[in-house]
Structure 1
Amino acid sequence: MTGDRPAAAGSTLRQGLAVIRRGIAAQPRWFAVAVLGATVYGVMTGLTAWAIGWVVQEAVTPAIEAGHATSGQLWLVGGVLSAVVLVNVVGVVGRRLAGGIAMYNLGAHYRREVTRQYLRLPLSWHHRHPSGQLLSNANADVEATWNIFAPLPMAIGVLVMLAFGIVQMLVVDPFLAVVGLTVFPLLFAANVAFQRAMSPRMTQAQQLRADVSQVAHESFEAALIVKSLGREDHETERFRAVTDELRDANIEVGRTRGRFDPAIEAIPTLGTLAVLLVGTHRVGSGSLSAAEVAQIAYLFSITAFPVRALGWVLAKLPRSVVGWDRVSAVLEARGAMDHGDRDLPRSGASTVATESVSYAYEIETDPGEPEGSATLHPAVVDVTLEVPAGATVAVVGPTGSGKSTLTNLLMRLVDPDTGVVLVDGIDLREVRRGGVSEVAALVPQQTFLFDDTVRGNVTLGSAHDDAALWRALEVAHAADFVRRLGAGLDTRVGERGASLSGGQRQRVALARAIIRDPQLLILDDATSAVDPSVEQGILDRLRRASAGTTVVVVAYRMATVLLADEVFYVEGGRVVDRGTHAALLGRCPGYEQLMTAYAREAAERAAITATEEAAR
């Protein structure tokens, strides 16, 4: 992804300001309120210096000269300072509340945008990007992009404090103000050096967060493989290595901050000492009063703070830029499918056809190369076929021959590189978004169940009554085992259906497709995990229930193939031959060899089952 390449150090500030402008444009009202609160804070902080000087002049000095303070003087001091502090608190609360709302709104908005883009992009794009990286884009990278809005309103608002304080210092005593302001060039130079040193370190740390997410996701997804092969130590070491890299990168960020922070904190202190030393001399010479020196010293101490606040923003800019690069790489990704405005007719079974369809997968030879440099692996080559309405056809072929890719093309999960896919004579590219899934259903080779109830996994939120649910489960040969579950339809099946067997998961997934009463039903080896006897029952019920449905089934078992009206034999992504099962056995050597192997395997399984039953 383009976001994986760090931005040039010289362009970090420019890119960061562009990200800030984008955020302000998306949340103008809340950001304006936050800046207003920060401005109130800045003005009132500046007025605090005036209030201190006024209190010293009008209350403290007279009390010292008189040797005691009157109650009126105490009430005056308390009232003036309380009023200033109260208004200041209002500004701080407004700044933090509005700034936080703006930041969280931006995070929520862009998480939704990234997720929508994931759903819009075709499978071909997802094949090129690891899931762990995509999770990081939607979470850590979005958060990194907009965290800069936490200190930003304050940094903008305190510019008012800076201007207000400098004007006040110049009004009180220009000479002493110039003495104090000489440290500001030093502060600015220190902050620029800090930002330049932090930029590459923050970039590396943010990229390593994505690496940690990717490795963790792979380990969790492959938990069964890791445990069954005894590779826990290997995966632990792999995760340890990348987390150690992230730890070291974060330590380097902290070490860099530790080198600069003392200097940046010390510079204002040195300026304050210089103001006090020169100010004391000018008081002794009668040029200034003690109240004026106290006012300028306080003003200087508070005007040094805004420069530090700007430094906080500069420190967050590199991470914000890296985060936005990675997020925008998703939002600007090419490959999203275009949709037309046509509807597929709802008039019974659909006809399906392909005309000279070809499709190739992109395989990255070097992950460091930019997108578009991948090599192509043809999966479907110049396939032309036609399935009449209401027919049941089987797609048969050796592993890797393009069968699953063909089912993806028929569902328009991917678009062909050349040729067209037609359903009821309509090019699927012309169908409106969601139109294909309204008339067609796919039961994929790899079954996925949500961490939800059986009801939720079958309906997926659509409105179906219990009667329809049980009918679909009956056809899928799943009703009996669902009734035996603790809460029936309302039994939670766990993450990815962990509480169910592989065959049970397949039957729930099959019911999920059947309940939608599709005109086109595509089964990609959808009964491979069930016993042959159960499979036979499912296929018999499905054939009776789908009398008005066109069925395309990727078949590996003889029982499935025998249900088909016609068989398409596929090799190397091409349809080598087509016809009835009997006809292909007599003229297609590849098909005959494959079916003989399937029959032999089925016979061996049946013999093993019979032996086990006899032993019991």
Structure 2
Amino acid sequence: MSPASRRVSPSVLREGMGVLWVAVRAEPRVFALSVLASGLYAAMTVATAQVLGMVTEDVVLPAFEDGRAAAGALAAGAAAIVGVAALKALGVAGRRFYAGLMQYRMQAKYRREVTRQYLRLPLAWHHRHPTGQLLSNANADVEAAWAPIAPLPMAVGVVFMLLISAVSILLTDVAVAAVGFLIFPAIALVNVVYQRRLAPVATHAQRLRAEVSEVAHESFEGGLVVKTLGREDAETLRFAAATNRLRDANIAVGRLRGLFDPVLEALPNLGVLAVLLIGSLRLQANAMTAGDLVQVAYLFTLLSWPIRALGWVLAEVPRSVVGWERVRGVLDATGSLPYGEAAPGGDGGRAAAMEVRGVRFAYETDEHADLSGEGNGDGAGGGPRHILHDVSFSVEPGRTVALVGPTGSGKSTLTSLLVRLVDPADGSVLLDGVDLRDVRRGGVAETVSLVPQQTFLFDDTVRGNVTLGMDAPDDRVWEALRLAQADGFTAALPDGLDTRVGERGATLSGGQRQRLVLARALIRRPRLLVMDDATSAVDPQVEARILRNLRERAAEGGDGDDGGGGGSTVVVVAYRKATIALADEVVYLDHGRVTGRGTHAELLETSEGYRDLVNAYERTERDETERERAELEDTAVEGGEEALR
């Protein structure tokens, strides 16, 4: 079914009413108050017509006949008009307040539910869904789902007004009512055509708004790429193309509204003219009074509102159904990380023992996207992409183990398993003999810290980025910074710990950002520290000092409550030979399997793949160092020649 046909399908209307019923059941008291206020507005609108008829009959016409107006009659008429107007204003205010309250409550409720669901769903589910889509689900789709709530109470109230008005007109004069009611089918027909033509065009314009936002977001996020590759003009043209499409769509919406709005406004006026024509004939025949004619004419001027109010609700229903389906797609998503009741094993102040036992893992992806970022998998196209195969090894408390392997061998996936971002398809990861799946909620985070490949800093102070809301004294912050070799440059910052680092740490170098992220992990005194190539932007000498600090901390141990903290078992994804050599043991991964294990020296002797890989890294680093040295020497020579000239 095409989008346009879907928007006029009776099933969409039924689904839309079902979505609104969800809101009514969730907020019955607020909805009832909004409908009561809307009913008050409707009743007072009809009462206004009756008051005008009464004032015409009892005040205006006698004043013309007598040549003067009685003060008491004028006061009574004015009081009646003001009183009705005040109640009508109260109804408008109550209707808008409670309708808005209901709408915003539903949006807030489902934003929270969608966000909680994101936190419950495993990382494997997030791998299959782009970030932009998830943001849209939590924001634009939630807003669209509950958009009809705002006009809904008014629509319910004006239906009440329509019924009261129709009864009042019939009771006043049946002949005039019969002529005037002919306008209803005409207005209804125009509304139906209007909504059918407008809904797909307006929905298309809404989609293009999201497209413009997406292009702008990508340009801002990729500002460094755009600038360094000179893509400013191309990005400007891309943004201009998107905004031009949105402009054309908005113009199409404006054309439709410009065509139909005058028609919708004119039809009730034509009905009023017809009523006045027939009513004047009835008045001449003494079949009705002048007050009755004024009352009926005024009521007919109001009767276009009920139909238009219903049209506003119906116009939002298609977007509401689409938004609700997308939100329900998240809320009904399967997959989670179930938790047990066990506490993390071992002594809370000592380094942890870790064991990986027969682990196998595969990413579930579709055939159009490679979202894993690692490995080629075992098959082509869609379906599961196997990354790890029967991986087993153990790490003794306080020891440092280096994970080494070529790109795509499964190292980053393994680190995700060690901190339980995902669960293995087979096998288990044990911490002090306890399967991570049996640990209570929050237990793994209390015991294990991950320092990821990609660093992320908030637009906050150094202290705020290290503690992340943790109640820690400054001396503990400085201790974590010292272990991460970040105390020196932090002390040199203008405001020390209170220096703001900018969005994503823009004011710091890559190595400084990595060290702050490492300090963020260390301040929590983890018993198991997992670093996924977390020092790649750090000088080799600084990296060596960081690892040495971690080894010394693990050797010192401690009870974890004396301010000095306990030691940590360290698992580090490493590439540099100098880093690998500092590890107590090396686990060599190749194509998702452990193909070698031992010390660095042992693997150099026994594993040809490991030897070739490590030596290749070393040659690359040596070549880069020699090239930098040559460039410096050339610069020095050129500077000397310039000085001689």
TM-score normalised to structure 1 length? 0.94
Residues 136 and 209 in structure 1, CA contact (< 8 A), matched pair in contact too: no
- State the match for 1:487 in structure 2: 495
Find the counterpart in structure 2 of residue 507 from structure 1: 515
Matched residue, 1:436: 444
What aligned pairs does 1:145-294 form with structure 2 within 5 A after superposition?
Answer: 145-294=145-294
Identity across matched positions, percent: 54
Instruction: Specify the SS of the correspondent of 1:546.
Output: helix
Question: CA separation in 2, counterparts of 1:7 and 1:459?
Answer: 51
* Change beyond 3 A, Cα 1:434–1:247: farther
CA distance in 2, matches of 1:522, 1:29: 52
Q: 1:268 to 1:128 in 2, by over 3 A?
A: same
Structure 1 stretch 57-66 or stretch 197-206: which is displaced more?
A: 197-206
Q: Does 1:353 align with 2:372?
A: no
Q: In the alignment, residue 575 of structure 1 is paired with which amino acid?
A: V
Larger deviation: 157-166 or 503-512?
Answer: 157-166
The question of 1:381 aligning with 2:400 is answered: no
Of 451-460 and 329-338, the range deviating more from structure 2: 329-338
Residue 6 of structure 1: CA displacement? Answer: 9.6
- CA positional deviation for 1:484: 0.9
How far apart are 1:38 and its partner, in Å?
0.7
Change (3 A) 1:428 1:240: farther
Does 1:392 find its partner at 2:400?
yes
Q: Distance between the aligned counterparts of 1:116 and 1:483, measured in 2?
A: 39
Q: What secondary structure sits across from 1:523 in the alignment?
A: strand
Alignment partner, residue 102 of structure 1: 102
Contact between 1:453 and 1:489, CA under 8 Å: does it hold in 2? Answer: yes
Q: 1:19 to 1:60 in 2, by over 3 A?
A: same
Q: Distance in 1 between matches of 2:6 and 2:525?
A: 52
| Whole-Å separation in 2 of the counterparts to 1:268 and 1:504 | 71
Q: Is the 8 A contact 1:131 1:214 kept in 2?
A: no
How far the C-alpha of 1:52 sits from its partner, in A, is: 0.8
* Structure 2 match to 1:593: 612
Q: In the alignment, is the contact (CA less than 8 A) between 2:345 and 2:434 conserved in 1?
A: no
Distance, in Å, in 1 between the alignment partners of 2:250 and 2:356 is 54
Equivalent residue number for residue 594 of structure 2: 575
The structure 2 residue matched to 1:471, chosen from 475, 479, 483, is 479
Contact 2:44 2:88 in 1 (8 A): yes
Cross-structure match for 1:560: 579
1:106 Cα deviation after fit:
2.0
Structure 2 residue 621 is matched with structure 1 residue 602: yes
Asked if structure 1 preserves the Cα contact closer than 8 Å seen for 2:346 and 2:432, the reply is no
Report the CA distance shift for 1:239/1:613 in structure 2 as closer, same or farther (over 3 A).
Answer: closer
Do the aligned partners of 2:31 and 2:99 also contact (CA within 8 Å) in 1? yes
Q: Determine the C-alpha separation between the residues in 2 that align with 1:162 and 1:73.
A: 30
Match of 2:373 in 1: none
Shift in alpha-carbon separation, 1:320–1:250, aligned structure 2, 3 A: farther
Count of residue pairs brought into register by the alignment:
608
Q: Which runs of 5+ in 2 are unaligned?
A: 370-380, 556-566, 637-645
Q: CA RMSD in A?
A: 2.2
- Please say if residues 345 and 431 of structure 2, whose CA atoms lie closer than 8 Å, have aligned partners that are also in contact: no
Identify the range of structure 1 (263-272 vs 477-486) with the bigger mean alpha-carbon deviation.
263-272
Q: Compute the displacement of 1:595 (Å).
A: 1.2
- Using the size of structure 2 for normalisation, the TM-score is 0.90
Are residues 334 and 553 of structure 1, via their aligned partners in 2, closer, same or farther at CA, if it must alter by over 3 Å?
Answer: same
1:612 is displaced (CA, Å) by 7.0
Deviates more, 1:70-79 or 1:503-512: 70-79
Instruction: State the one-letter code of the partner of 1:95.
Output: R
**Larger CA deviation: 300-309 vs 506-515:** 300-309
- Correspondence 1:387-466 to 2 at 5 A: 387-466=395-474
What is the CA distance between 1:57 and its match in structure 2? 1.2
Q: Which region of structure 1 is more displaced relative to structure 2, 411-420 or 202-211?
A: 202-211
Change (3 A) 1:291 1:8: closer
Structure 1 residue 423: deviation in Å? Answer: 1.8
Q: Distance in 2 between matches of 1:425 and 1:297?
A: 85
Give a deviation string over 1:340-364, Cα, whole Å, max 9, x none: 2322135122222223222222343
Of residues 190-199 and 557-566 in structure 1, the stretch that sits farther from structure 2 once superposed is 190-199
1:34 and 1:405 map into 2 onto residues whose CA distance is 53
Q: CA deviation at 1:41?
A: 0.4
Are the aligned partners of 1:443 and 1:509 in contact in 2 as well (CA < 8 Å)? yes
